[in-house]
Structure 1
Amino acid sequence: MPQTERIPLLVIAGPTASGKTALAAAYAKKHGGEVVSADSMQIYKGLDIATAKPEESEKLGVPHHLIDFLDRGESFSVADYVSLAGKTVRDIYARGKLPIICGGTGLYISSLIDNVIFDDTGSDPEIRSRLENEAKEKGNHALWLRLRECDPETAEKVHENNLPRVIRALEVYELTGTPLSQHKVNSRRESSPYDCCIIGLTASDRQYLYDRINKRVDIMAEKGLVEECREVWENGGLATAAQAIGYKELIPYFEGKCGLDECIEKIKLETRHYAKRQLTWFRRVDNILWVEIDKFDDLKKIIEKVENTVAKSEIMCYNIT
């Protein structure tokens, strides 16, 4: 591949339960593509049901990458994702296939398509430990307020309950004296190697999406969500799993403090809140082309809509095959 050639890349993004997985697999099947996951929790082994990993039947025989490859407890940063996903995309394209990024982790997707180059700002275990202890003593909101003072741009984009990112932003500021948001500006000095078409799935009726979320949680429970979460809880995997909705919400049930139905309803509520945050994130993405899933009767019609949208975007990826 010539150094100046840009890689065609189809991105299918959107909130949880919007049908990204089914669309990506079906589109890839039809157009000779391979799917690269952009989900920060599906990377971990053994966290299957709560993270909605696609089953083999759902993959339609299409290769899916960056799913189920990392042991629980191992760290995996955004920089790691950009590096690994970039290599995977280049390999798929070199074999004459269409790379399709599919997922709901907005930070992963934005960092990849914007070609973010991560500075080696380093880390300091003492700073991190101090900030973690402060969060326990004073609460997450107190740390977030401090972040808002020194780096309001990052604070606006990071929820106060996303403690690892709040702590990392504060750590970077203490280490370098420069806000994390400025580091990110500096990291985008090189142009993107990708010719992207970004499809965002949404619903004109928010309740339609919420009903899909509620139904999916019920299906997860039927498939063994509670048993999976109990195994994780009993075997010390909660530090990692707690980042995924569906695990920590069941702890009160395991401890005999709440009934199962109440905990399942809590999972539904937190998942709906998460979907709302995802939509807020993706609305800030430039050039995203929205497809309203509640305006179509079935997946086939959604695929046709996406095909027309991709064709009008005039990017290379539609003609790769």
Structure 2
Amino acid sequence: MTKPAPFAEIWRGPFFESVHFGHAVVCDDTGQIVQAWGDPEAVILPRSSSKMLQALPLITSGAADKAGLTSEHLALACASHQGDPIHTKRVANWLDGLGLQESDLRCGSHMPYGRDTEVAMIKSDETPCQYHNNCSGKHAGFLTLNQHLGGGSEYVDPTHPVQKACLEAFETVTGETSPGYGIDGCSAPNFACTLHGMARAMAHFAAAPEGSAEARLHQAMRLHPDLVAGETRACTELMRAMNGKVALKTGAEGFFIAILPEAKLGIALKASCGTTRAAECAIAAILVGLGALDPNHPATVARMNTPITNRAGTVTGILKPSADLLPASVG
């Protein structure tokens, strides 16, 4: 197996202190590899980066249109949101429109990622519910599809019709037979594929014709970046930095994807160490290298060539992408 490639370096003053490694693939609309770092055939779990794949049956089945879902609903179906009111209220209203309630979700609950919302809940001694789960939008999509299919209540079971539909969509767009699955943090199965397969799927989305399920999903993400993640989050800030021309989605354990419709390219990457800062630095660097992202935009600088400060506010070092990820002109 090809070894992972250097992704991001940490320098403390003049000293090279540490390095993150990973794998990354850029695919074109034919599914061919345009660029690669590390091992394109590494088998991975894309985690939340696969949410737009899991949302495909929601549209292709006719369930989304039958339920009158808007682009906001579709963005939430692809989201790993912060659990702020702009997210939780929309998910609650979505389920209410289906005649369902919070207890019908199977994602579990956790404190919101949005700092202001978290602090407000702590101060008021409020307990989080399943609407606060970052995956509640995806699960609302599952419930919408399930209502359309007439399945049982345990829609996260791998043998359930909802998950069978998700697997079929996943294998179709990755062009691979999945070797299996792991159970995600939200209790749904997360299907495995190669990194090349995931990049191929993203390129498939990028090249999808207007009006297709794939196009409707990535357009919704680009139109509503605040619903896909939230304020201060990389997905939201970087999509805004690219003026909504590129769809981005993070996944747990150092995963990231990008869909570039104008260039008809797809990107998938996995930081071997599973750290967020490595994945964010790498995706920003690759997008800069492709000419899609301004290297000097504040959202970019917050992820690559980023000053590291100590608790006194003194700049002690820098986080920067490996030279292999960037052309020399922007290194």
Q: TM-score, normalised by structure 1?
A: 0.29
The structure with the largest helix share of the pair is 1
Q: Which structure has more RCO (C-alpha within 8 Å, separation ≥ 6)?
A: 1
